[in-house]
Amino acid sequence: MNSPVRWQTGIYADAAGSVYFEGFHGLVQYDGKVWTTLTKDNSKLPSDRVMGIFVDSRKRLWVGTDKGTVRFDGAVVEDFQGTDNPLKQAAITKGYEDKDGTLWFALYEKKNPVNAMAKLSKDGVWTVINTENAMIPNNSVQDFVVDEVRQVLWLSVHNVGLCRFDGKTWGTFTPENSKVPSTVVEDLALDAGGRLWCATFAGLLRIDPAE
């Protein structure tokens, strides 16, 4: 396959079947037929270092870079710089849309991150999750999973392990107090049976809610 893809750091596939590649050379999209490359020179990307990609149910493309987040909605591009919301100083690294239409984002901020995650409700209200309003050790979130069936939020927190919120209580799981094998949990995935799979620096961990 002849493609413009160079050194990439992540891959995202949307519901329409397009595949997006993130890295240090802009955003590359493949729709099954055509390759498209977006850079700071040919688009309104603020930087070529792309850190996160998400397409919501309204087909809006959210792109997190090391110089902020932009949202492409057809020909309309929002850079959030003139607004007072969590994306003004942060890059999204992952997005998720739940059954109610709420958008969940993991955030990255270069220095002294103040927010770990942000949620955008269907009616446009932003809510943040951070060390000030949640019992999490720090605001550096590697990945997250929303278990809508059990109404549980899982976070992988950098240099800590896992955090879990069931709507009432927060719990933190580290190599010292649980079977989490490493303080570095890179990726999380939830399977159809509700089992949480965790890729860590010390191997693979599976958490079964039935156990």
Q: What is the mean pLDDT of residues 129-150?
A: 97
For residue 8, is pLDDT > 90? Answer: no
pLDDT, tens digit, for every residue of 157-194? 999 999 999 999 999 999 999 999 999 999 999 999 99
Give percent of the chain with pLDDT exceeding 90. Answer: 88
Find all residues with CB under 8 Å of 86, minimum gap 6, and list them: 105, 107, 115, 118, 126, 128
- Whole-model pTM: value is 0.94
Q: What is the mean pLDDT of residues 103-115?
A: 92
* Distance separating alpha carbons of residues 164 and 96, to the nearest angstrom: 17
